[in-house]
Each structure stands twice: as structure tokens, then as C-alpha cells.
Amino acid sequence: MFYFGMKISPCNFAYKINQSKNIIKPQLAFKSLGFDSVSFSTKAKNPEFKKAQTLDEAFKFGYKELGIVDYYGFDENQVDSANFINEGLYQAKQLSKTPLKMPKYIFLRDLDNVQMSMAYTNGGILEVNDHIYTNEYITDEIDRIFEELIDNDVIIIGDSFSVNPVISSEKTDEFFAELMDDYSNISCARTLDEKLDIYHRFRVLYEKTSILNRYPKDLILRMVKAGCYGEFSQDEIEKFKIDLETNKNFPSLLKLFKNKDNVDLNFDFDIFKFKTIFHELGHLQNYRFVSTPLVCYFNSPKDYNPKMLEWLENEKGLKAAHEVLPYACLGAPEFIAETYANLLLDKELSSEALALYKKYNGPKVRLKKN
């Protein structure tokens, strides 16, 4: 059942602290519930976001300005987590060109292996990982991704840390030097905002250079055939297929994914820390687009949604999706969500990517350059 059409009348807030679990849960006493479009406060035009000092203030802001019905799982000391989520949603609202569907419920909890967040579109639910959106945990997550970049030879250890020469450029080196300066001071008292900014900037180096161990081999091969990494002869593709199947990660294969063109710095980094929230909102805007996880296709192709096969066999579409991010190749829903996030970040995309986005009815945004 979908809840995006819910209209909420003014209500009374009563917050109770559960002393045994130290959790604050907002309890909403509604006067009435109907099924119409959600109405938001429009007293000021694009007012600057102001951080709440208490959870009570954060929850009230979410209800009044964003239409959020309820928040769950927030410890009384996690005001910064609530502020960050609210600010990300608020920034997206200001950038949206069309009425924006907001989540109705926000859950902060342990999402196990999910790195950032999940959006359950059939209930208007946004779940965010307390291991990321809580200040005390995120340093460990930043350390983890830094170590993975070293393991993947994206970052090289010498007299000092540097990026792999095959992805080095003046712009990338400058970006990396600033990032390492911030990372070296991570032990200092930093806000959640600052740590999430560092985390997402590390992921810029990670996303397009750490492909081999993160995606199904069939999808990787399809991306290569589609020309996502350059033009190859049929013999070269066959050799690549054998190496892929036998897990031979020799330098020539790794170099395919590690080059300076795969480090994308074309973003508005002032709001880059909200990228994952923007991505999940992209899913919520296209809640009618239901899909099965891509892994199901490779495990049981016969039972899989034929729309996914259509997507995977469209080489032109895969190449356009890969330009946005390899993750966007996982299916039309992920392409829509990732493209939506990139547009909010004012990233310039190719005409092919924008045409594909339009084909799948991606939500419109107000671009800064316009």
C-alpha cells in the first residue's frame, strides 16, 4: 500500500522518553487523516536551514516543513543525526522543480551490511544506518573505506600516501591532498556533517575504481562490451571474460578500471554530503517503479522480471548509466535514483544520460545553471 497521498491535519505533539531504552519516540495525536496531497509550510521562500537544539525541535521541524509523520530510534543525544537527515531532505526540497514526495517515517537503526540508507517506497519509509549517521560510529566507517582503497591499490603507501599514478591528475592530486589533510585530523572533535563530508569524498575515489569485487561478473562483462571502459576487439573481450571467470586480477585488467577518467570531481561539494539522502529520495519519487534486486537475475534468470533483461541488453543505455555511476547500471530504479542525486548536486550529464532519465520519467529538479 502506498502512503504518498496522505494529507495530515495539524496535530498535537507529545514526546515521551523511554528511560529503559533511552529512546525518544514522538507520539502524534491526529485530529483527522485523509488521502490527498501533502501540504508543506511556505511561509518563507527558501529560508536557510537552522539546526535544532533538541530532538523535540528537530521532530517538529520535520513535521512542519517536510511533512514527516514520525521519527524512530533516535537516542536523546542524537540531535546531530536528526539535524543532518532533516537538512538533507530540506536541501532537496529547495532544489526540486516539482512537488517532492517526502518520506513519512524516519528510522535510525542498525542496517547490518547496508552502508548508508534504504527507502521503502510502498510505505514512505526512509531507514538510515546509525553506524553512519551517528557521530560515534562514522570514524570507524571512514577508516574501513580508507583501508579498502589501499587494498584495491587506489591509494598507494610510500613515503606518504598518494593516489595510484594511473588515476593521478593535477585536479585529483589536489583533491586527495585536501582530503588526507582532513582525514589526518579526524581524531579531533569534528561534527557529524564534517565526518560525512570526508566519508563521501573518499567514496568519490572508490566508486569507479573498485569494480571487480563489488558487482556480478555478468554485469561487469556487459559494461565492458557496452564500451563503458573504451573500445575493445572481440578477442580482447573474450580474453577479459576468461580472466574475469578465473579471478585473475592482473595489472592490465585492474588498469581498465583505474584511470584518471574514472575519478569524477564534477559535483557541487558544498552539499555533497547529502548525496545518499538525495539518492533515496529519488527512489521515493518513482515509487511506482517496482523492481527485483539484480542478484535475482543472475541466480534465477527465468524467474526474473523481463524488464531487467531488457535493461541489461541495452548497451547504449548501460553506457549512459555508467557515466552517472557504475551502481546506476544495476537497473532502471538505481539509475533514476543516482541520476536524481547527481542532478541535485548540479553535476553535468551527457545528453544520452538525460535522455535515458527522461525515458524512465525521472523526477525534475531545478538546475543551478538554469
The residue among 129, 161, 192 that closes a domain is 129
* 3-state SS, one letter per residue, for the chain: CCCCCEEECCEEEEEEEECCCCEEEEEEEECCEEECCCCCCCCCCCCCCCCCCCHHHHHHHHHHHHCCCEEECEECCCHHHHHHHHHHHHHHHHHECCCCCCCCEEEEECCCCCCCEEEECCCCEEEEECCCCCHHHHHHHHHHHHHHHHHCCCEEECCCEEECHHHCCHHHHHHHHHHHHHHHCCCCCCCHHHHHHHHHHHHHHHHCCCCCCCCCHHHHHHHHHCCECECCCHHHHHHHHHHHHCCCCCHHHHHHHCCHHHCCCCCCCCCHHHHHHHHHHHHHHCCCCCCCCHHHHHHCHHHCCHHHHHHHCCHHHHHHHHHHCHHHHHCHHHHHHHHHHHHHCCCCCCHHHHHHHHHCCCCCECCCCC
Q: Clarify whether residues 36 and 117 are in a common domain.
A: yes
Domain enclosing residue 352, as ranges:
217-257+286-359
Q: Which residues of 305-318 are buried (b: 16+ CB within 10 A; e: fewer)?
A: eeebeebbebeebb
Structural domain contains residue 367: no
Vertex 300 angle, CA 299 and 301, to 5° = 115
Q: Clarify whether residues 75 and 150 are in a common domain.
A: no
Interhelix angle for 332-344 vs 79-95, to 10°? Answer: 90
Structural domain contains residue 243: yes
Q: Clarify whether residues 120 and 142 are in a common domain.
A: no
Structural domain contains residue 270: no
pLDDT of residue 27: 35
Range from 50-54, 338-342, 365-369 carrying the lowest mean pLDDT: 365-369
pLDDT digits (tens, 9 = 90+) for 233-263: 888 888 888 888 876 655 555 566 655 566 7
pLDDT digits (tens, 9 = 90+) for 53-73: 999 999 999 999 999 999 999
In total, how many domains does the chain have? 3
pLDDT of residue 270: 79
What percent of the chain is predicted at pLDDT more than 90? 28
| pLDDT-derived band at 305, boundaries 50, 70, 90 | low
Grid coordinates representing 134 are 551517528
Among 204, 116, 133, residue whose Cα is nearest residue 163? 204
Q: Clarify whether residues 92 and 163 are in a common domain.
A: no
pLDDT digits (tens, 9 = 90+) for 120-159: 766 788 998 888 888 888 888 899 889 988 987 889 998 8
Q: Clarify whether residues 329 and 232 are in a common domain.
A: yes
The residue among 129, 148, 173 that closes a domain is 129
In this structure, the strands spanning 155-157 and 161-163 are antiparallel
pLDDT of residue 293: 43
d(CA 345, CA 368): 9
pLDDT digits (tens, 9 = 90+) for 8-36: 222 322 333 233 333 333 333 322 222 22
- The average pLDDT across 176-197 equals 90
d(CA 31, CA 321): 46
Mean pLDDT over the full length of the chain: 76
Q: Clarify whether residues 352 and 316 are in a common domain.
A: yes
Q: Clarify whether residues 349 and 329 are in a common domain.
A: yes
Structural domain contains residue 310: yes
Q: Clarify whether residues 173 and 109 are in a common domain.
A: no
| pTM of the complete model | 0.77
| pLDDT-derived band at 230, boundaries 50, 70, 90 | confident
